[in-house]
Amino acid sequence: MRRGEVIAIGSELLLGGRPDTNSLFLTEALAAVGVEVRFKSVVGDDEADIMAAIRTASRRAEVVVLTGGLGPTGDDLTRQAAARVTGRPLRRRAEAVEGMRQRLAAWGRTPSVAQMRQGLIPSGAEVIANPVGSAPGFCLTWNRCFLVALPGVPAEARGMFMAGVVPRLAAERATRRLPLIERRLLHTFGVAESDIEQRIKNRIPVKSGVRLGLQASPLGVTVSLTASGERGTLRGENKGARLLDRVLKDVQTRLGSCVYAEGSETMEQVVGRLLASRGLTLAVAESCTGGLIGHRLTQVPGSSAYLDRVVVCYSDQAKTELLDVPAELLLRYGAVSEEVARAMASGIRARSQASIGVSVTGIAGPGGGTAHKPVGLVFVALDADFSQGPKRRRNRTRLAQEFRFHGDRDTIKLRASQATMDVLRRCLIS
């Protein structure tokens, strides 16, 4: 199995101005062609530091991917650092310059003097065309290491890597008959990471080569199962896949309904698929999440087929005016209460005539909490009339659930949005 390393370049990644998202994509894409990323690092815009990072990576990885530092400004130093550390002087490459000219021409622009620097490529390197932006990338073999340099813009890095690098790595894997890395993902919500581990840690066959990974986030706990096929044979690769599928099925059975998705599917995609398959419509009333649920649902193409409306009713007055929540109910129980959550769900369903109304109300913090109602207290409610869908079943379902979340304001809002959709999901599969 080939070892890989990803190096993200840019001082903004160290100073908190921008997160490194390229390494997440690259790790998955490299695994698909038999390269296991064992190291990831972030380096600022300093030529000596970039050179040091490349040297270190080349000693411990067969495939090293750099992202960032290929732009036209003075702090874009990846080209210079790669040229110096590999002993490959920069040369202006006609194909790099022409690709850049064509891309800028399509935008109605001509290359500036600074942009022309992007046409400088280490001698002997292969130019990687940029199908999205103007900065070309490059790849070369040095010190028994395959070195790839890509722009830092995620869409550009992704497009260039998939079109210009993956075919080469896949061909090399086939030629050298290297094992293929197989990976399976299960996404869960509502169960703590430690509890997940206790349920499944004994379900991984001893000495099977299957590795278990757990990653907790505000969206739940992701369970990863990783293995590789035997070296060099398609039969071995299928064996690894079959073993993983067997383990996956066993783990999924042990975890039960807390598993909401497999692979890359998101909660909003799952909810959308379930609603669409049943011909049901949805209306959402949001308070503490401020429209986050609506945003996530509408990120799914085709969501207009099942999402009727989303109402953000932040104040008590809005809850009364937009959802007919009785003022006396708000006065007696407060906006963050099971009673008000139920009234919000019933109100949005009645106003919209949708099959299902869901609501969420809570305290996202950092202030506003009390001993009786602390920060992180969230109520989710659902009011459904399933007789409206083509696949009719019982007439009416009403329910409410209390949650206690922790974290900062953004984390609580994200967890509350996930919890609301999970309540809906569980209702749809029950």
How high is the pLDDT of residue 203?
Answer: 87
d(C-alpha 406, C-alpha 419), whole Å: 13
Specify whether the CB–CB gap between 4 and 35 falls below 8 A: yes
**366 lies in the same domain as 379:** yes
Q: What is the pLDDT of residues 137-162, one digit of tens each?
A: 999 999 999 999 999 999 999 999 99
**227 lies in the same domain as 333:** no
CATH number at residue 90: 3.40.980.10
How high is the pLDDT of residue 376?
Answer: 97
Euclidean distance between the first and the last CA atom of the chain, given in angstroms as a whole number = 43
| Domains held by the chain: number | 3
Give kind and range of the element (H or E) at residue 384: strand 377-385
Residue 132: pLDDT band (50, 70, 90) is: confident
**130 lies in the same domain as 256:** no
Q: What is the pLDDT of residues 232-289, one digit of tens each?
A: 444 444 677 788 899 999 999 999 999 999 999 999 999 999 999 999 999 999 999 9
d(C-alpha 135, C-alpha 259), whole Å: 42
Residues 41/46/48/53 CA torsion (nearest 10 deg) = 10
CATH number at residue 306: 3.90.950.20
How high is the pLDDT of residue 224?
Answer: 93
Q: Residue 202 is encoded by which pair of tokens?
A: 């004994």
Average pLDDT over residues 194-211: 88
Mark which of 135, 155, 176 sits at the end of a domain.
176
The whole-angstrom distance between residue 22's C-alpha and the CA centroid of its chain comes to 11
Supply the angle between the helices 316-323 and 338-352 in degrees, to the nearest 10: 40
How high is the pLDDT of residue 65?
Answer: 98
Residue 374 pLDDT > 80: yes
- What average pLDDT does the structure give for the chain? 92
Q: What is the pLDDT of residues 1-14, one digit of tens each?
A: 789 999 999 999 98
Range of the domain at 229: 181-262
Q: What b-and-e string marks burial along 259-283, b requiring 16 or more CB atoms within 10 Å of the CB?
A: bbbeeeebbbbbbbbbbeebebbbb
**316 lies in the same domain as 214:** no
Q: Which residues contact 359 (CB under 8 A, 6 or more apart)?
A: 284, 285, 286, 287, 341, 342, 344, 345, 348, 380, 381, 382, 420
Q: Residue 412 is encoded by which pair of tokens?
A: 């609580």
Sequence-distant contacts of 54-61: CB under 8 A, at least 24 apart:
54/7, 54/81, 54/82, 54/85, 54/86, 54/147, 55/85, 57/5, 57/7, 57/145, 58/142, 58/143, 58/144, 58/145, 58/147, 59/143, 60/3, 60/5, 61/3, 61/4, 61/5, 61/145
**215 lies in the same domain as 294:** no
**145 lies in the same domain as 290:** no
Q: Is 226 helix (H, G, I), strand (E, B) or coil?
A: strand
**68 lies in the same domain as 145:** yes
Q: What b-and-e string marks burial along 347-378, b requiring 16 or more CB atoms within 10 Å of the CB?
A: bbbebbebbbbbbbbbbbbeeeeeeeeebbbb
Specify whether the CB–CB gap between 205 and 212 falls below 8 A: no
Q: Residue 231 is encoded by which pair of tokens?
A: 């070296």
| DSSP one-letter code for 288 | T
**28 lies in the same domain as 128:** yes
How far are the Cα atoms of 94, 124, 229, 282, 404 from residue 121, in angstroms, in the given order? 10, 8, 37, 54, 55
How high is the pLDDT of residue 231?
Answer: 46
Specify whether the CB–CB gap between 243 and 184 falls below 8 A: no
Residue 113 pLDDT > 60: yes
Radius of gyration of the chain (CA): 26
Q: What is the pLDDT of residues 387-410, one digit of tens each?
A: 755 555 557 899 999 999 999 999
Q: What is the pLDDT of residues 341-363, one digit of tens each?
A: 999 999 999 999 999 999 999 99
**295 lies in the same domain as 147:** no
Q: Residue 258 is encoded by which pair of tokens?
A: 């807390």
Residue 180: pLDDT band (50, 70, 90) is: confident
Q: What pTM, to 2 d.p., does this model score? A: 0.81
Specify whether the CB–CB gap between 272 and 382 falls below 8 A: no
CATH number at residue 237: 3.30.70.2860
Average pLDDT over residues 204-219: 88
Q: Range with the lowest mean pLDDT among 36-45, 232-241, 359-368?
A: 232-241
Mark which of 262, 290, 315 sits at the end of a domain.
262
How high is the pLDDT of residue 131?
Answer: 86
How high is the pLDDT of residue 103?
Answer: 84
How high is the pLDDT of residue 390?
Answer: 53
**165 lies in the same domain as 189:** no
Specify whether the CB–CB gap between 118 and 100 falls below 8 A: yes
**115 lies in the same domain as 235:** no
Residue 54: pLDDT band (50, 70, 90) is: very high
**251 lies in the same domain as 319:** no
Mark which of 176, 201, 236 sits at the end of a domain.
176
